[in-house]
Amino acid sequence: MLLHPRLLLLPIVSGYPPPSGSFRLLLFSAGKKTPSPFLPRSCSFSTKAQVAASAPLEIDDSISPRIVEEGAQVQIPFDRLFVPPGVDFAGAADAASARVLRGSNIVLGPYAHDAQISTADFVKSSTKTEDCPSDGIPEFALVGRSNVGKSSLLNSIVRRKRLALTSKKPGKTQCINHFRINDSWYLVDLPGYGYAAAPQELRVNWDDFTKSYFLNRATLVSVFLLIDGSIPAKKIDLEYASWLGQNQIPMTIIFTKCDKRKKKKNGGKRPEEHVEDFQKLISEYFQEAPPWIMTSSVTNQGRDEILLHMAQLRNYWLKH
């Protein structure tokens, strides 16, 4: 897959003044093989990990990657970049040469290797944290409002058409579903929240058991909170994000459906603006900007970036 570089114009908002200026950074695709003309030479992007992340496996032929819009540009103050653990980052000087994953605020570091997925297997459904697999390998949990596109994203990440169907089977929707990847880490599918049709009592129970999982699961490297990037943020999403922030649970925000760009239907805003708005709304709950990635399961935007992000968090976690 070769996606064209895309730069997003994200204005610096008053709530986030950069300490001493801001940096215009090129956000580029993990699949891109040639250095961008916008980047200093030192920023050419052709690491082994990126190639690996794009390697085909069980390709879902119904998904045909589209070339995404070109020419947008991002302006992110360096204090809003997410610098993964294991990266020396002193500030302005380092930001100028930072390699940032396309469609995200995530700096690429030395741990971003082994991002390729070669096997993905459903392991088990658990109703309690204590029943989850106990082999001690790292995991990432996907959570989001019902209909946010969680199943589609899970299938897109593992390049399978129907892996996430397992989580949608009757009796499994309220469970913690573990999928073992490459026999070395887990993707965990958590119940969707805010499902209007569920009785209030049931909703509260879901909250209780997912929150217990977040607070007690020692092998949880990061929660991936899915937010619909095509519409304004919902109250329940903000509540979820603030709860994670206040409880200091590591969180990555995954903005879904970023291919949907119809202006009028979504209140006149583009996904980039929703991304910006959401960050402003949650900023008070986080000392440092949480990592975020814009994705689409239709175009596969963000898939390789998610894998590289997971790889660098995971590899660091394993070494420390």
Query: Which one of residues 87, 132, 148, 253 is an interface residue with ligand GDP (CB under 6 A)?
Result: 148
Q: Does 259 bind ligand GDP (CB under 6 A)?
A: yes
Site string for ligand GDP, 101-140 (x = CB under 6 A): ----------------------------------------
Is residue 173 a contact point for ligand GDP (CB under 6 A)?
no
Least distance from C-beta 219 to ligand GDP, angstroms? Answer: 24
Question: End-to-end distance of the chain based on CA atoms, in angstroms?
Answer: 33
Among 177, 222, 266, 297, interactor with ligand GDP by CB under 6 A:
297
Using the contact rule CB under 6 A, the part of the chain among 5-13, 232-240, 257-265, 272-280 near ligand GDP is: 257-265
CB 34 within 8 A of CB 55: no
Alpha-carbon distance 171 to 167, whole Å?
9
Among residues 161, 211, 260, 280, which is the contact residue for ligand GDP, using CB under 6 A?
A: 260
Asked if 298 interacts with ligand GDP (CB under 6 A), we say: yes
Q: Which listed range, 43-51, 59-67, 214-222, 254-262, lies at the site for ligand GDP (CB under 6 A)? A: 254-262
DSSP string, 169-223: STTTTTSEEEEEETTTEEEEEPPPB--TTS-HHHHHHHHHHHHHHHHH-TTEEEE
- The yes or no reply on residue 147 touching ligand GDP (CB under 6 A) is yes
Q: Long-range CB contacts (< 8 A, 24+ apart) of 241-246?
A: 241/278, 241/282, 241/285, 242/282, 242/285, 243/211, 244/214, 245/282, 245/285, 245/286, 245/290, 246/285
Nearer to ligand GDP, 26 or 142 (CB): 142
Q: Does residue 192 bind ligand GDP (CB under 6 A)?
A: yes
Binding-site member from 22, 54, 266, 296 for ligand GDP (CB under 6 A)? 296
Q: Determine contact, residues 231/266, Cβ cutoff 8 Å.
A: yes
- The number of residues making up the chain comes to 320
Euclidean distance between CA atoms 189 and 187, whole angstroms: 7
What is the total count of residues that contact ligand GDP (CB under 6 A)?
16
Residues lying near ligand GDP in the complex (CB under 6 A): 144, 146-152, 192, 256-257, 259-260, 296-298
